[in-house]
Structure 1
Amino acid sequence: MNAVPVAELWRGGRLESAHLGHAVIVDGAGQVVQAWGDPGLTIYPRSACKMIQALPLVESGAADRAGLTSSQLALSCASHQGAALHRQAVGNWLEGLGLGESDLRCGAHEPYDLAERNRLIKTDESPCQYHNNCSGKHAGFVTLNQHLGGGSEYVEPDHPVQKAVREAFEDVTGEVSPGFGIDGCSAPNFATSLVGLARSMAYFAKAREDGPSAREKAAYRLTRAMAAHPMMVAGEGRACTELMQAMAGKVSIKTGAEGVFTAILPEQGLGIALKVVDGASRASEAAIAGLLVKLGVLEAGHPAAQKRLNAVQRNCRGIEAAFVRPAADFPG
């Protein structure tokens, strides 16, 4: 099946460009509720599956052994801004394990947070691995690795940490992964179908605190941690944070690079996955907001929703020149 328009850019009352994509909603029984485009498309979930990558951290007992808080569990699922809040949280986490920045394998990049970036410039400091948007996930990896007693190169695909991640990934997606690609943070990112990714989100949605398995209990804890600590998951101004805040902790959502987005709706028992073909985040944000409004969990008039449903594009003089919105027939 071909991709369908999921977001549009309008300028001067004319449609200027359109973003094509695929999306699927799956229920707690793993059945497709509605789909657009090709739900069987094989994709890399990128960071939209970080809650799956964190499952072994919790279900193994490593999180409890390390005394991790709900906020730290949210950070293990994060693609954060590298703000002082995030840098300090990751640093304190590793210090509590008797570890440090050099034990991470995610690499360093400039923080996305403007205040923290300006602080580094003013103090002539270089970014460190704590600033990496994936450093929370990697803090979870090293915590699990310490628990398992594995070698220091925990991002290697045949390392016990990544073997545990792959097993959990294939279990909750209900599919054998056809392979992996190396993510921006150096960890393997396992491929799956879009419907498999949505199925995994539905698994998280139906998970219960008193569930019959350690995996289900872990899924419940991670979902609630994300919803309870949206600032740890992304940061100021970010879609994940602002939309979760707008939904008052009832829904957990997660963005991924190259136009991927996932959502976990516990009250409805639904999971969502979407992929924008050209990888544009402006399109994936508009599309996920449209889907959340369609399902009745996000108020269309909320400022956080309007910021994505009618994303104003300003020119260099600050004049409103165009806007991005969900496509006319999406989600319908």
Structure 2
Amino acid sequence: MPDAVDMVELWRGPFLESMHRGHAVICDDTGQIVQAWGNPEAVVLPRSSSKMIQALPLVTSGAAAARGLGSRQLALACASHNAAAIHVDAVRAWLDDLGKTDDDFRCGPQEPRDIALRDALIRAGESPCRIHNNCSGKHAGFLTLADHLGAGPDYVDPDHPVQKAVKEAHEEITGEPTPGFGVDGCSAPNFATTLHGMARAMARFAAAREGTSTQASAAAALRDAMIAHPELVAGEGRACTELMRACDGRVALKTGAEAFFIAIIPEKKLGVALKITDGGTRAAECAIGAILIRLGLLDPAHPAARSYVNAPIRNWDGLETGRMQPTAALA
């Protein structure tokens, strides 16, 4: 099996100071690998990059339709959001509609990434709640599905009907039995797969069309919701949001903890999955940007592209001291 390969370089002046290694796969809708770097069969935890898979049962079960969920809620079900007002207000309205409260969430409280809301909590002497967790939209989806199934409140238990449905969807769309799971930062199981399996799943999302099957209809709805609402999937200043906007609605993107990233490309029916092995998010953002440029989906001169690919490194005095760039093999 091939090892991880050099993917992202950091230069300081004329010196190569650091190197990030990883794996990446581009897969087509037949499940075949179009291009790969490193080891396509490396077993990975896709972390939050799998949220659209975790949201599939919400739609395929009929729970989303029964609750009248629109594209904004579906985007939030796939989100790792900043907990800005645009996110928190929407999740709170969703909770209210379910007749639930913050205590019904099984994700932990998290300080908002959004500075304005974080500072407002501090000034008010209030502590962060579970609704501020970046995964609260996903958990609102889990609660919706649990209610629809008439299941109990501990929806993150691996033996709960919600997580059994997620595992089934995960194995079906990746085309592989999962070797197991790790518990994610939000307490939900995160099912492992190979990098090839994850790219295959993303290609199936890319090729999905409404009305062809229950799963394909659900995948298309979730993918299109992400593309329609990039501001909900992550938030201002985030790579997912900025790069989706820069691609003008041609791509759905989703980051995951420990330097995972996926891309769903409907017009080419391609899926991309990548993992930087040292967990460096900056490198995953650079690598996914480089792949989007390589596929002709992102203009390398676009300001968002320049923020992540061939990005200048500046010191505290604003001096440009170096640059971060993809390796020649990736670029």
TM-score, normalised to structure 1, is 0.98
Q: Secondary structure at the match of 1:74?
A: helix
Q: Tell me which residue corresponds to 1:294.
A: 294
Q: For residues 85-124 of structure 1, what are the alpha-carbon distances to aligned partners after superposition, in whole Å with 9 as ceiling and x for unaligned?
A: 1111110111011111111001111011111111111111
Higher mean C-alpha displacement, 188-197 vs 311-320: 311-320
Name the counterpart of 1:54: 55
Please say if 1:256 is aligned against 2:259. Answer: no
* Paired position in structure 1 for 2:70: 69
Question: What is the alpha-carbon distance in structure 2 between the residues aligned to residue 5 and residue 115 of structure 1?
Answer: 38
Kindly provide the amino acid, as one letter, of the partner of residue 92 in structure 2.
G
- What residue identity is the alignment partner of 1:235? G
Aligned to 2:45: 44
> The residue matched to 1:273 in structure 2 has which SS?
strand
Structure 2 residue matching 1:267: 3-state secondary structure: helix
Q: CA deviation at 1:322?
A: 2.2
Aligned partners of 2:248, 2:135: CA distance in 1, in Å?
A: 25
Structure-1 separation of matches of 2:299 and 2:101: 43
Measured in 2, the distance between the counterparts of 1:146 and 1:82 equals 24
Q: In structure 2, what is the equivalent of residue 8 of structure 1?
A: 9
Aligned positions of 1:284-323 closer than 5 A: 284-323=284-323
Q: Which residue of 1 aligns with 2:180?
A: 179
| Separation in 1, partners of 2:132, 2:23 | 32
3-state SS, counterpart of residue 225 of structure 1 = helix
1:266 aligned onto 2:266: yes
**1:50-69 Cα deviation digits (max 9, x unpaired):** 00000000111100111111
- Alignment-derived partner of residue 139 in structure 2: 138
Structure 1 distance, partners of 2:14, 2:309, is 16
Shift of 1:313: 2.4
1 CA distance for matches of 2:303 and 2:220? 29
Q: Tell me how far 1:321 sits from its aligned partner.
A: 2.1
Q: CA deviation at 1:319?
A: 2.4
Question: CA–CA distance in 1 between the matches of 2:248 and 2:57?
Answer: 27
- Who is 2:215 aligned against? 215
Name the residue aligned to 1:280.
280
- Post-superposition offset of 1:4: 0.6
Pair 1:97-2:101 in alignment: no
Cα distance in structure 2, aligned partners of 1:71 and 1:319: 41
1:27 and 2:34 matched: no
Q: Which moved more, 1:160-169 or 1:305-314?
A: 305-314
Stretches of structure 1 that go unaligned for 5 or more consecutive residues are none
Which SS does the other structure have where 2:267 is aligned?
coil
* Distance (Å, rounded) in 2 between the aligned partners of 1:316 and 1:122: 28
Q: What corresponds to 2:154 in structure 1? A: 153
Q: Which residue type is aligned with residue 229 of structure 2?
A: H
Q: Which residue of 2 aligns with 1:81?
A: 82
- C-alpha distance in 1, partners of 2:167/2:313? 40
User: 1:327: Cα distance to partner?
Assistant: 1.4
Task: Indicate the SS of the match to 1:93.
Answer: helix
Counterpart-to-counterpart distance in 1, 2:320 and 2:109: 35
CA RMSD of aligned residues (A): 0.8
Q: Give, in angstroms, the shift of residue 325 of structure 1.
A: 1.3
Shift of 1:317: 2.4
Distance in 2 (CA, whole Å) between partners of 1:134 and 1:284 is 20
Q: What is the one-letter code of the residue matched to 2:91?
A: V
CA distance in 2, matches of 1:312, 1:160: 48
Distance 2:14 2:69 in 1: 51
CA distance in 1, matches of 2:314, 2:145: 45
